A and B are shown apart, each in its own frame.
Chain A
Amino acid sequence: MLVLGIDTSCDDTSASVVENGIKTLSNIISSQIEIHKKYGGIVPELASRRHIEMIWPVVDEALTNAGIKLEDLSGIAVCHGPGLIGSLLVGCSFAKAICYCRGIPLVAVNHLEGHIFSSFLEDPGPSFPFLALIVSGGHTCLYMIAGFGKYRELGRTRDDAAGEAYDKVSKLLGLGYPGGPVIDKLAQKGNPKAIDFPRAYLPESLDFSFSGIKTAVLNFLKSKKESRVKGQQSTKQSLVSSHSSLVEPCDQCPVTGDKSYFSLSDIAASFQAAIVDVLVRKTEWAIKKEHIKRVVLSGGVAANSELRKMMKEMAEERGVEIFIPAISLCTDNAAMIAAAGYQHLVSGNIAGLDLNPRAYMPL
């Protein structure tokens, strides 16, 4: 059974053909990062215009690469939320139009459900039940997945998503957008214990909170600036010139030998350690609470090398099976939409042509 998946929930236009919900025949992603870079993030209006330009060529390429035609499809799965409303609208309208004129069944997939089912595109995939942690620029949530359609939310972010914290801190450090890859790379060279940034564990629940850490990084940068001004140290580096631009890295003040001067890579490593610690610990709590033996990690932040490593270590210690899809399946893609769409299709859960996207749509 062949399903075409379409995802336009955010800044990537993606189309994919998946066979039987597990085998990816094609997965085309047209990234808009270059367009949005100068804005320090995604600009919704620009994103939707770009989706309109890209949707046909991307779908065309997905079909060609899979070696199939529209009439070979058993269904078209489209992501209808959550996401940027203008962007979602492009994918939904496109899918509805094709389904209508070719008589192909339409299925609607929640973006978060897509992330969960991305794990089925790997061999071996998980079996039910499992715990799913989805971490991205827009989401940070933990679910118990008992089967297709049987999802129970255990926790989610109360303020910023983990990926958003990366983007905001990256901006504070003058490193640009997107923040994830650049901080991850810098962190490799830094000392994760250099600065003890706060971890908001919220011990009473499995919810997350990542807004405090960006404030902590900001306060840290400000305090360095003040101490430098007060102390009048004549060092070559200017640690913080304004909120938005830091920096020449320096591990140690060349004049005073003062080790309170941290390098950019130390800040990156310490910040990353704080984020990863919270994500891993809370997943561990959820494992204990739910007595679960399998964990799926997905979403854009699941591309982070440290998170992947620490999750695997934790899973090993706890004797839990961990499923982390390849990076191309963790970040937004349409193969995951097709994989979840297949499940809808075999369950007979067909969407009407009056399908409307929604920006806010809990799973």
Chain B
Amino acid sequence: MVSSEIQRKYISKGPEETKDIGYRLGRLLNPGDIVGLYGELGAGKTTMVKGIARALGLDERDVVSASFTIITEYDTSPPFLHIDLYRVKSDEELDEIGLWDYLKTGNIAVIEWAEKAEKEITEELIKVKIKPVDENVREITLEGKYEKDRDNL
């Protein structure tokens, strides 16, 4: 995609700022949108999900790690899916967890460890890459769908 050359880059100085960027991104999401979160263990992916969830009307305290359940569905309108593919190892397992049924409908989905599914996802992802700079600081890059709307998050 030629227009995707420019990436939107933000620097977060700590978890609260990461949540805040998540919140501002969350407010711009539409039903059917899929956000892919990229970043190593401890980068702050779940922290960002808390911010996104707050924008959708959830209490961020209710949003916890989804590594255990893999898919956590929240009763919002539209439904919000917090998906965490940390434990998933193969494409076959993506079928087994029922991922495709969840992504079909007009939900808003956030997928942690999205690299494990991106080849299989046909919809264009909103990609959020979180890179640790030091213990607290993170470089956050946004790419993909409606990128141009995200200049001033």
Q: Is B124 positioned at the interface, with any CB of A under 8 Å from its CB?
A: no
Q: Is the CB of B97 within 8 A of A43?
A: yes
Q: How many A-B residue pairs have CB under 8 A?
A: 77
User: Which residues of chain B (71-102) have a CB below 8 Å from chain A?
Assistant: 71-75, 86-89, 93, 96-98
Q: Is the CB of A211 within 8 A of B42?
A: yes
Pick the contact of A158: B40, B61, B70, B97 (CB < 8 A): B61
Q: Is A249 positioned at the interface, with any CB of B under 8 Å from its CB?
A: no
Choose the segment among A14-22, A105-113, A159-167, A257-265 that binds chain B (4+ C-beta atoms closer than 8 Å): A159-167
User: Which residues of chain B (38-54) have a CB below 8 Å from chain A?
Assistant: 40-42, 46-47
User: Which residues of chain A (37-51) have a CB below 8 Å from chain B?
Assistant: 39-46
Q: Is the CB of A41 within 8 A of B68?
A: yes
Chain A residues with CB under 8 A of B69? 44, 84, 138, 359
Q: Is A218 positioned at the interface, with any CB of B under 8 Å from its CB?
A: yes
Pick the contact of B65: A43, A86, A161 (CB < 8 A): A161
What class of interface size applies to chain B in its complex with A? 20 to 34
Pick the contact of B96: A40, A46, A158, A218 (CB < 8 A): A46
Closest to A358 in B: B75
Closest to A85 in B: B73
Q: Is the CB of B96 within 8 A of A43?
A: yes
Given contacts A39-B93, A158-B64, contact A44 B71 (CB under 8 A): yes
Chain A residues with CB under 8 A of B89? 39-40
Pick the contact of B68: A85, A158, A164, A207 (CB < 8 A): A164
**Complex: A219 Cα to B64 Cα, angstroms:** 22
Q: Is the CB of B87 within 8 A of A39?
A: yes
Closest to A222 in B: B40
Pick the contact of B70: A44, A159, A172, A215 (CB < 8 A): A44
Q: From residue B43, how far is it (CB to closest CB) to chain A in Å?
A: 9
Q: Is the CB of B96 within 8 A of A168?
A: no
Q: Is the CB of B74 within 8 A of A42?
A: no
Closest to A213 in B: B42
Closest to B41 in A: A218
Chain A residues with CB under 8 A of B47? 159
Q: Is B62 positioned at the interface, with any CB of A under 8 Å from its CB?
A: yes
**Complex: A212 Cα to B86 Cα, angstroms:** 16
Pick the contact of B97: A44, A211, A214 (CB < 8 A): A44
Pick the contact of A360: B42, B62, B65, B96 (CB < 8 A): B62
Pick the contact of A137: B68, B74, B98 (CB < 8 A): B68
Given contacts A43-B97, A218-B42, contact A161 B87 (CB under 8 A): no
Q: Is the CB of A215 within 8 A of B72?
A: no
Chain A residues with CB under 8 A of B86? 168
Q: From residue A46, how far is it (CB to closest CB) to chain B in Å?
A: 6
Q: Is B67 positioned at the interface, with any CB of A under 8 Å from its CB?
A: yes
**Complex: A304 Cα to B62 Cα, angstroms:** 26
Q: Is the CB of A161 within 8 A of B64?
A: yes
Given contacts A39-B87, A39-B93, A159-B46, contact A359 B73 (CB under 8 A): yes
Q: From residue A74, how far is it (CB to closest CB) to chain B in Å?
A: 33
Chain B residues with CB under 8 A of A158? 61, 64
Closest to B96 in A: A45
Extra contacts, 9 of them, besides A157-B64, A161-B65, A211-B42 (Cβ < 8 A), are: A41-B87, A43-B87, A44-B70, A160-B67, A167-B68, A211-B65, A212-B42, A215-B41, A243-B40
For the complex of A and B, the 6 pairs showing the least CB-CB separation, nearest first, are: A215-B42, A41-B87, A160-B65, A45-B96, A138-B68, A40-B87
**Chain A residues near B (Cβ < 8 Å):** 39-46, 84-86, 137-138, 156-161, 164, 167-168, 172, 207, 211-212, 214-215, 218-219, 243, 359-360, 362
11 A/B residue pairs, CB under 8 Å, sorted by A: A84-B69, A157-B64, A164-B67, A168-B86, A211-B42, A212-B42, A214-B41, A215-B41, A218-B42, A360-B73, A362-B62
